[in-house]
A and B are shown apart, each in its own frame.
Chain A
Amino acid sequence: MDQQIWGVFMNVLELKNISKRYGAIQALDSVSLAIAPGEVVGLMGDNGAGKSTLVKVIAGNFAPTSGDILISDKKVAFNKPLDAQKAGIEVVYQDLAICNNLSAASNVFLGREPTRRIGPIKVVDYAFMRSKSAELFARLKSETRPRDLVHKMSGGQRQAVAIARTLLSDAKIVLMDEPTAAISVRQVAEVLNLIRQLSDQGIAVVLISHRMPDVFEVADKVVVLRRGELVADKKASQSSPEEITGLITGAIEHA
């Protein structure tokens, strides 16, 4: 019995034979994948391999054509992104989910602002927003300051803001679609650190990236998509950048 219960929570997310079609295009072809709590998964593949499609299916942007999604071993069906969010899935988009004209703290709390009452009206509790987001940034070991406007920040700090949002909601799994695509080397190191911090707190991370060194630096597991098919699902320590490159291009058929 006990063992069964433990078994139940072994996987924070499980995909079973997920397929997605756009008309004639088979973007995902029977993809199965299991992710454990705190696991960092590097999701790799050529342009058009179906990585973003997979993320969007998991995040509830659209339903798969067929296949099942299980969260903590329970079957779920997401109709909209909010459903996925409630189930503990957060997505960090490169730039999308951040409003440049607001402060870091305002962005962390965007859509779930804390309020306090002054007489009959409810006003935004800026003090709480600032202290709480300062605490989150500290947990992420980021130097981002809550009051700073996002448009004055580096790419790495922006990522910290986006990731702090996920801490706020007690996410179980964070999906990151190319977080390191458009930022400098030093900022990449910052983002990789953030990913490690999330993992240390038991949050699983799916990292989509074209940058082999980044993936091998943080990932526990590397999975490769090729033309919608999952062709590899390996421990990073038992693979190599050369092998993964071969799998991505098709020089190596399967692993």
Chain B
Amino acid sequence: MQKKDIGLGILIIVVGAIVYMRNPLFLSPINLGNTANLIGLFGLFAIGQGFVIMTGGIDLSVGSVIALLGVLFVDMVGKFGVPWPLAVAIIIGLGVLIGLAHGILITRFRLQPFVVTLCGLLIYRGIARGYTAESTAGFPFGSSYPQLEWLTIGRSFGVPHSFVAMLIVAAVMWVVLHHTVFGRHLCAVGKNEEAARFSGINTRFVTVMAYVICAVLASIAAIYFAMFTKSVQPSSHGNFYELYAIAAAVLGGCSLRGGEGSVIGIVLGAVLLQELQNLVNLLGIPSSLNFAVMGAVILLGVLADQQFAAYRTRKNTERALGLLQKP
């Protein structure tokens, strides 16, 4: 665990304590369960975004991917009677294709990640709206899919399965990032692409894989969101979600300059964001101020972190200079 993660953990506890003191409902089982569900849903794709950010890139298309794949999933299962395991496989397959497309445009054709995924944001949203002719996609009345529902919106001992899924994904991605060769190469490519290339790393492959991971996790999140909301409104479903993901990753210590980040940090970032949402609701702050509160807290967090890092560097330099002057 990194120092940053511990700082973020403390912040989460402090904010939680303040909210609890003002409104004890914060720790009620119902509220905790609902919040955990949202943390699971948002954490799933925030982790993917974090991987892309670690390569020094960004994926702005996440929200639109969640809308488009959500619409397709609901239609496949609800309208066309595709067996749900097959539908899940198709959706994840589409996620792979979307990620490959982003990655190849960025590495082979040397387009900027911002531009590629901004176009993705517009295209996928547009397709979702065009395909449904702006009408909401939903499951037929009275239909039910017990296993699928158990996996997505079910709970065990009060713990929502979306949260469990996020924890499993986080554990896997933690191993990938910190204990596999790919993870090492991801950090190297993000920090110094040229050095990585000179060291014989296939930097294109590493970058493409980061976008594939991001899109695949977004596609899994799309299924969870579709099951959670039961219907998908193509023009508003998933709006701004890419920004939640970026916010969680940045709060969690990912640098937009690449090369830095931790899975634990991203998960804690997602926790803090949902805690802030909760704070707005429970403290009776008008929910229209929702975004303003979130933006202000992220800004303060990043500012404090940066000032603290600068302070540490200054201290270290002073100490080094002191050592040099002694003899």
Task: State whether these chains interact.
Answer: yes
**Chain A: residues with CB nearer than 8 A to chain B?**
81-82, 85, 91, 93, 96-102, 106, 110-113, 115, 121-124, 152, 165
Shortest distance in angstroms between A110's beta carbon and chain B's nearest beta carbon? 4
Inter-chain contact A81/B260, CB cutoff 8 Å: no
Query: Is B191 in contact with A99, judged by CB distance below 8 angstroms?
Result: yes
B194 within 8 A of A: yes
Task: List A contacts of B198 (CB < 8 A).
Answer: 81, 91, 93, 96-97
- Decide if B199 is an interface residue (CB 8 Å cutoff): yes
Whole-angstrom distance between the Cβ of B18 and the nearest chain A Cβ: 34
Please report B residues at the A interface, Cβ cutoff 8 Å.
Answer: 175, 179-181, 183-185, 187-188, 190-192, 194-196, 198-201, 259-260, 316
B179 near A124 (CB under 8 angstroms)? Answer: yes
Are B192 and A106 interface neighbours, CB within 8 A?
no
B194 to A111, Cβ gap below 8 A? no
| Closest CB in chain B relative to A157 CB, distance in Å | 12
Decide: A102 and B188 in contact? CB cutoff 8 A.
Answer: yes
Q: How many angstroms between the C-alpha atoms of A102 and B185 in the bound complex?
A: 10
Residues of the A chain whose Cβ atoms lie less than 8 Å from the Cβ of B175:
121, 123
**What are 9 sample pairs from A and B whose C-beta atoms fall under 8 A apart?**
A81-B198, A82-B200, A96-B194, A97-B199, A98-B192, A111-B199, A111-B201, A123-B175, A124-B180
CA distance A210 to B316 in the complex (A): 32
Which of A102, A121, A122 interacts with B184 by CB under 8 Å?
A102
Write out the residue numbers on chain B whose beta carbons fall within 8 Å of the beta carbon of A115: 180-181
Q: How far is the CA of A130 from the CA of B194 in the complex (A)?
A: 24
> CB within 8 A of A110: which of B179, B180, B188, B194?
B188
| Measured CA separation A122–B181 after assembly (Å) | 8
Q: How far does the Cβ of A31 sit from chain B's closest Cβ, in whole Å? A: 24
How far, in angstroms, from A85 to B200 measured CA to CA in the complex?
Answer: 9
Q: Which residues of A lie under 8 Å from residue B191 when comparing CB positions?
A: 99-102
Closest beta carbon of chain A to B190's beta carbon, Å: 8
- Measured between alpha carbons, how far is A97 from B190 in the docked complex, in Å? 13
Q: A97-B199, A100-B191, A124-B184 are in contact. List 14 more A-B contacts (CB 8 A).
A: A81-B198, A96-B192, A97-B198, A98-B195, A99-B191, A99-B196, A100-B259, A101-B190, A101-B259, A113-B181, A121-B175, A123-B175, A124-B180, A124-B181
* Contact for B200 among A101, A112, A121, A152, CB less than 8 A: A112
Q: Which of B180, B181, B195 contacts A99 (CB 8 A)?
A: B195
Which residues from B are CB-within-8-Å of A106?
184, 188
How many whole Å from A164's CB to the nearest CB in chain B? 13
| Interfacial chain B residues near A123, Cβ < 8 Å | 175, 179-180
Q: Report how far A111 CA is from B190 CA in the complex, Å.
A: 14
- Decide if B179 touches A99 in the complex (CB within 8 Å): no
A121 near B180 with CB under 8 A, answer yes
CB-defined contacts of B199 to chain A, threshold 8 Å: 97, 110-111, 165
User: Which residue of chain B has the shortest Cβ distance to A162 in the bound complex?
Assistant: B195
Residue of chain A at shortest CB distance from B258:
A101
Closest to A98 in B: B195
Which chain A residue lies CB-closest to B259?
A101
Given the interface contacts A106-B184, A122-B180, does A99 sit within 8 Å of B259 by beta carbon?
Answer: yes
Name the residue on B nearest A91 (C-beta).
Answer: B198
Name the B residues within 8 Å of A113 (CB-CB): 181, 184
Q: How far is the CA of A111 from the CA of B199 in the complex (A)?
A: 5
Alpha-carbon separation in the docked complex, A97 to B192 (Å): 8
Give the chain B neighbours of A165 by CB distance below 8 A: 199
Contacts of B201 in A (CB 8 A): 110-111
Instruction: State in angstroms the CA–CA spacing of A92 and B188 once bound together.
Output: 17
Contact A111 B200, beta carbon cutoff 8 Å: yes
Output the least CB separation between B100 and chain A (Å).
23
Q: In the complex, what residue of chain A is closest to B181 when comparing beta carbons?
A: A113
Q: How far is the CB of B50 from chain A (nearest CB, A)?
A: 15
Bound together, the chains give a CA A247 to CA B183 distance in angstroms of 50
How far is it, in angstroms, between the C-alpha of A112 and the C-alpha of B199 when the chains are bound?
8
Q: Are A101 and B181 in contact (CB under 8 A)?
A: no
Least CB distance, B4 to chain A, in whole angstroms: 13
Separation of A112 and B215 alpha carbons in the complex (Å):
28
